[in-house]
Structure 1
């Protein structure tokens, strides 16, 4: 689990993750980058351009969100596999989102920013590995079903603005996962799939920390600008996010992440 010898900077390590298409290769590259940073083997230097789009494997087939097949009720194993596959794809894209955030914007922040998001990227890789392993236990695998590319559209939309990226990805999209995951866990438990339910609970605990990292760095940057964090968040969400911000909200989990109601109440539809 090591990076190629020529990679000695944070920027180059992030680009390596993004340009690795195969799921296992990307997983290993993410872990190697985080380990190299933790061991002091990467210079805090941003000398590599991030690609507009990360490399992707031949499968899954990527469809527009409106062409995705319906998953059906989660009581059936087929529907549970479809749900786990969708979550695995989210985590696969989340690996690239974390490393793109570092490689694209890390030079504008202290080194601790890189440390936080390296950990996030490594945890997203671990989440993907857990979900892919569970799919294989159930007779499937990542790539067996189509997936949609909507999540990366948020990266494209916010490629020029670090604060917009923090506002939209961890503070809207990952925060939304905090809202819906408890009900998903209950449905898996109701179907008797306790193994998957426990795994989703473990992932959610990590995701609270990911939202917290986004909120922490967003607030630090806006306060440095002399702006009100909640007000600036609302401006950026209205500008860059096309979907609704809709209840019910998991206020408790959001509050643990520092994302209090004054950020999102005014945006709720």
Structure 2
């Protein structure tokens, strides 16, 4: 391994520029493991790309051009649901890597450790979902996917507090809110394996949102601001559309998210 390859910045950039899904999963997990084992020098000597590499499939469409999923109980509808979830987790790998690589130099080693752990979790979630799609006779890339998630990263590339406010504390927190209803539907369809995957993802996402809360609080302290007020003002500035209830209050509380601030952002 050359010295250049063994820096944290170059390793994260390399994973972001890996397009093929299984290779990206392996790259993200390798960066997290190498960092944990002390194999990467603390140098951010490689700029993060504006966009991560993407595989040839799925075709990426604007959210308003996405085809309808089909009836919820149909095989086509079920595959569309799992494909959409797989795409969210695939993009989430890059969101976590970019968080660590773009802002890690300023935010410190604990920040990098947290978000590389998130990247490794998202890689595992994606692999589980892709395997579940394969068991249904499909796979990631078989259907179009929307390109809206990365927009949040582009809009907040200049400010770590804005990124924390929007990505873990709004987008991932929305996962906490919608997963219980999805879980109920999956159980009603008799998909026990799928339900286990969603339970695992929900548990992990609570921790991911908590990392966002923790590090936004550190940003607020550095800026002499109140964490809740900072969150509200950043979301109103950088997130298109308010928060959509109903909220999963118990999961939000477990992650340390303010319910009063969540409701303020929904009104």
TM-score over 0.5 for the pair: yes
- For 1:7 and 1:126, the matched residues in 2 are separated by 24
Mean CA deviation greater in 110-119 or 258-267: 258-267
- Asked whether the 8 Å contact 1:15–1:103 carries over to 2, the reply is yes
Which whole-Å CA distance do the structure 2 matches of 1:6 and 1:129 have between them?
Answer: 29
Work out the CA distance in 1 between the residues paired with 2:241 and 2:131: 32
**2:39 aligned with 1:71:** no
1:160-193 Cα offsets, whole Å, 9 max, x none, are 0000000000000000010000000000111111
- Aligned mate of 2:137, from 139, 143, 150: 139
Tell me if the contact between 1:34 and 1:122 (Cα under 8 Å) persists in the aligned partners: yes
Checking the alignment, whether the CA contact within 8 Å between 1:208 and 1:257 is kept in structure 2 is yes
Q: Is the 8 A contact 1:179 1:250 kept in 2?
A: yes
Instruction: Choose 68-77 or 44-53, whichever is displaced more.
Output: 68-77
Q: 1:23 to 1:218 in 2, by over 3 A?
A: same
TM-score (norm 2): 0.97
Indicate if the aligned counterparts of 1:8 and 1:41 stay in contact, CA closer than 8 A.
Answer: yes
Moved beyond 4 Å, runs of 4+ = 3-6
Give how far 1:260 is off: 1.8
Residue 204 (structure 1) aligns with: 202
Aligned position for 2:232:
234
Give the equivalent residue in structure 2 for 1:30.
Answer: 28
Q: Does residue 182 of structure 2 align to residue 169 of structure 1?
A: no
Calculate the aligned-residue CA RMSD, in Å.
Answer: 1.2
Aligned residue for 2:152? 154
* Deviation, structure 1 residue 226: 1.1
1:208-231 deviation digits (Å, cap 9, x = unpaired): 000001111011121222100000
Assess, with a 3 A threshold, how the Cα gap between structure 1 residues 4 and 89 changes in structure 2: closer, same or farther.
Answer: farther
Partner residue in 2 for 1:105? 103
Residue in structure 2 matched with residue 39 of structure 1 by the alignment: 37
Q: 1:260 aligns with which of 243, 249, 258?
A: 258
State how many pairs are aligned.
267
Partner of 2:58: 60
> Do the aligned partners of 1:251 and 1:260 also contact (CA within 8 Å) in 2?
no
Shift in Å at residue 4 of structure 1? Answer: 7.8
Alignment partner, residue 20 of structure 1: 18
Aligned partners of 1:74 and 1:188 also within 8 Å: no
Question: Does the residue aligned with 2:5 lie in a helix, a strand or coil?
Answer: coil
Q: CA deviation at 1:148?
A: 0.6
Partner of 1:194: 192
TM-score (normalizing by structure 1): 0.97
Find the aligned partners of 1:119 and 1:13 in 2 and give their Cα distance. Answer: 14
1:110 positional shift: 2.1
Instruction: Flag structure 2 segments of 5+ consecutive residues without an equivalent.
Output: none
Which residue does the alignment assign to 1:51? Answer: 49
Distance in 2 between residues matched to 1:244 and 1:259, nearest whole Å: 16
SS in 2 for 1:7: helix
Q: Give the deviation of 1:104 after TM superposition.
A: 0.5
**Contact in 2 for aligned 1:208/1:253 (Cα 8 Å):** yes
- In the alignment, what sits opposite 2:5? 7
Given the alignment of the two structures, is residue 115 of structure 1 paired with residue 113 of structure 2, yes or no? yes
